[in-house]
Amino acid sequence: MRLSSTQARKMLFAAILFICALSSKKILIYNEEMIVACCFIGFIIFSRKSLGKTFKVTLDGRIQAIQEELQQFLNPNEVVLLESNEQQRLLRISLRICGTVVESLPMARCVPKCEKKKKK
């Protein structure tokens, strides 16, 4: 919601009158915290009006850079995941082959000994 110049002036004038009324009735007491808070609010308003576009461009650029870094970080993880899945698949195949070889080993060792004993 954008205020026109006259509306902004009216609101500023009303705010000043409101602050003066609160001060005169001792409702609004000016201590260090209140002065710092008013200065901070004034700084935020000034920054938004004068540097709003600059902040927006800077933050948009930073958002873009973070998104690119995130994409670069995610892609290697996907590659590592695919490589890991492939290694697991190859390991399963190797274990099946090793299991078959190990199962057949005692038979292969036993057969020649048995045949030698039979020949005697």
- Both tokens assigned to 99: 């299991």
Domain span at residue 112? 58-119
Between CA 20 and CA 14 the distance in angstroms is: 10
Residue 102 belongs to a domain: yes
Residue 17 belongs to a domain: no
pLDDT for residue 64: 93
- How many domains does the chain divide into? 1
Residue 15 belongs to a domain: no
User: For residue 2, which phi and psi values (nearest 5 degrees)?
Assistant: -100, 135
Residue 72 belongs to a domain: yes
Report, as ranges of residue numbers, the positions in the chain whose pLDDT lies below 70. Answer: 1-3, 75-79, 99-120
Between CA 37 and CA 54 the distance in angstroms is: 24
Q: Could you read off the pLDDT of 92-116 as tens digits, one per residue?
A: 888 877 766 666 665 555 555 555 5
pLDDT for residue 40: 94
